[in-house]
Amino acid sequence: MRTLAWIAVGVALAIVAPAGCSSGCANRVTNRVSSPDGARDAVVFTRDCGAGTTGSVQVEIVASGAVPEDKPSSLFIIDHPVDTPGRVDARWASSARLVVTYPPGARVVKQEASRGDVSIVYSATP
């Protein structure tokens, strides 16, 4: 019976403990651009999840002044371009249209065509 109680405690800790922990990843904002109407920002950032990962460069749209959430939900993700010259950049063509440029040859992991009422255009630009 005592063993069964310890198993129950172990299972409870395995379920509850991760809920209070952070992702273990760190985001570093490299560029933030406000939309023309000032309602939202396009944020370009690098995400590093520690040893054994390559990291990534991501773009997210957030409310003006907000920070990207600490989870993999960005609208654009490329593997960290360690060996790919160039950079990821974002600019607003209008309050409803975002243009994202990235280095040619970069491995695109995720690329959404829109987010809410914002359409997104992508271009591999040296």
pLDDT digits (tens, 9 = 90+) for 61-115: 999 999 888 877 799 999 875 555 578 999 999 999 999 999 988 889 999 999 9
Strand spans (E) along the chain = 26-34, 40-48, 56-63, 76-79, 89-94, 97-102, 108-111, 114-115, 118-124
Region of 40 (left: φ > 0; alpha: ψ -120 to 50; beta: rest) is beta
pLDDT digits (tens, 9 = 90+) for 44-63: 998 887 766 678 899 999 99
Residue 125: what are its φ and ψ, rounded to 5°?
A: -125, 130
**28 CB-contact burial (10 Å; exposed 0-12 / middle 13-18 / buried 19+):** exposed
**DSSP structural state of residue 52:** T
The model carries a pTM of 0.76
Distance (Å, rounded) from C-alpha 91 to C-alpha 19?
A: 36
